A and B are shown apart, each in its own frame.
Chain A
Amino acid sequence: MGLEVKNIVAGYTREVPILNGVNLTAQDGRVTVILGPNGAGKSTLLKTIYGYLTPQEGEVLHDGKRIQDLKPNQMLGEGIAYLLQGHSVFPRMTVEENLELGGWIMRGDQKRMQTALDFVYARFPRLREKRSFLAGILSGGEQRMLEIARLTMTGPRTILLDEPSVGLMPSLVDEVYEEISKLKDERYTILMVDQNVRKSMSIADYVYALALGENRYEGPREEMEKKLDDIVREWI
């Protein structure tokens, strides 16, 4: 099951498709990594999966259900969470408010909300300490942790990550990857894009390489690691 992308053609305008027939499967409970040079269409692919862009052709299935006609705000309800590229905390709201918004779709259920908050705080004690700080004044690494924590509030099955480690100091990069490994251990289905090729390969189960909006290579991690030098050379 997991997430299946079948022959997707999509773009920002009708005339210029960015994705020209991409195929991809993110297996249940596995980490799937998408590699590709800048501008290959990786973010565009995630946005299309999440309903920001409507595909002109093709299908997106989540656990066997067609989801390409759904809107972005319906995706979390389908069990798919999404970490956007760049900053996505609400800077002028507190850490706790940010987390509560992560649970927006279960806002009627105060008990479930509290359980989720307790769970997240247990896992990220630093966020509990800073719960009443405005998110905008947290450090870059703390903001990224808050974003990741916020993704898990509703207990989704699948998580899309767009460049989770970009722009962070090396020590923080390790921290972020530790968190992603934990998510992997908790059997989330993860589909991830990252500039940090080696790091992301190290936790990947299966890897795709895109170029110019098309599949270029794919394979299990071990196989792709051998080809890696060739792949990266092609980008330059």
Chain B
Amino acid sequence: MDFSLLLDPYILTEVLVQGFVRGAMYALMAAGLSLIFGIMGVKNFGHGELFMLGAYAMFFVTVVLGWPWPVGIAVAAVALFIFGMLLERTLIDTLRRKAGRDWVLDAFILTIGILVVLQNLALILFGTSRRGVTSLIDGVLVWGPVIVSYERLMILGVASLVGLSLWAFIRFSSLGKAIRAASQNPEAAQTLGIDIRLIYTVTFGIGAALAGLAGGLLISIYPAHPTVGFEPVIKSLACVILGGLGNVPGAILAALLLGVIEAYSAFFMSAGWQNVITAGLVVLILIVRPSGLFSSSKVERA
């Protein structure tokens, strides 16, 4: 193994860009997962299936209908927003009224049921074949020794834009403030006239929209197929734990870190051992620091 290769500017940018693209996907997924967990206490194991549905929506709009890719991404996000709200209102909300103290665990089990149903419905409807596109945008940016495809720049750009909008929404909009209030003290939020059920539904919708958007955005790298959501959900779950359950900025940071680390370690080891290391790392964190890597820092929990 020649370590000096990693300092080569070409390889370095390649690794970093690849790492950030992966990290962006994990971050979009992890942000939604973490938001949903932080506010509702639901660890959505079916989050990967929402990613999968987003990928199919993207394929349908851009390939079957032949519409431009920005429309596809928007459709994937909006469709999943609506679908997520429906899921919440019909299933999770029903469970909330039945489950008592075991709510967190029961909700987790419920989302497993949702996962199994969605994944197999997709298998029935769409079959096992992979449906993707080779690229949404052609061309590469050449800048000195740095060569990056426009496609990847677009992915990074859209993901950053979405991340910023999410942050601004939670920080400044009145609905965003109500969401934060509900996560910090749900009972007090209700005394101020905040409809907590609506907050839960919207929150789940937002999380689902982020997953759907990720699925659509990355269609050229992860073509749609029924189990495409498995890896993203496992990895983003890991990021959520690493960042501290319910800590959205922590999860995003962990996601970018994990993406880059994976891209780097791909030089040394197979994807299989990478998975062992990720899983081992999560176990370690859960043992020594269940509140996550960044819990002591002053990051605000959205």
In the complex, B301 has a CB within 8 A of chain A = yes
Whether the Cβ atoms of A88 and B187 lie closer than 8 Å is yes
In the complex, A84 has a CB within 8 A of chain B = yes
Interface residues on B, range: 10 to 19
How many Å from the CB of A188 to the closest CB on chain B? Answer: 16
Interface pick from A23-31, A101-109, A175-183, A217-225: A101-109
Whether the Cβ atoms of B191 and A81 lie closer than 8 Å is yes
In the complex, A197 has a CB within 8 A of chain B = no
CB < 8 Å neighbour of B194 from A73, A92, A93: A73
What total count of A-B pairs have CB within 8 Å? Answer: 68
Chain B binding site: helix, strand, loop or mixed by DSSP? Answer: helix
CB < 8 Å neighbour of B184 from A74, A91, A100: A91
Whether the Cβ atoms of A104 and B191 lie closer than 8 Å is no
In the complex, B180 has a CB within 8 A of chain A = yes
CB < 8 Å neighbour of B196 from A73, A90, A93, A107: A73
In the complex, B188 has a CB within 8 A of chain A = yes
In the complex, A72 has a CB within 8 A of chain B = yes
Residue of A nearest to B196 (CB): A73
In the complex, A76 has a CB within 8 A of chain B = yes
CB < 8 Å neighbour of A73 from B180, B184, B190, B301: B190
Give 17 A-B contacts (CB < 8 Å), ordered by A residue.
A50-B191, A52-B187, A75-B191, A81-B191, A84-B191, A88-B188, A88-B191, A89-B185, A90-B180, A90-B181, A92-B184, A93-B184, A100-B174, A101-B177, A102-B192, A105-B192, A107-B174
Q: Which 4 pairs between the two chains have the least Cβ-Cβ distance?
A: A88-B188, A105-B193, A76-B193, A72-B190
List 10 additional contacts besides A90-B185, A90-B188; criterion CB under 8 Å. A50-B191, A74-B193, A81-B191, A84-B187, A87-B185, A88-B185, A88-B187, A93-B184, A100-B174, A101-B192
Q: Which residues of A contact B (CB under 8 A)?
A: 50, 52, 71-77, 81-84, 87-93, 97, 100-102, 104-105, 107, 150, 154
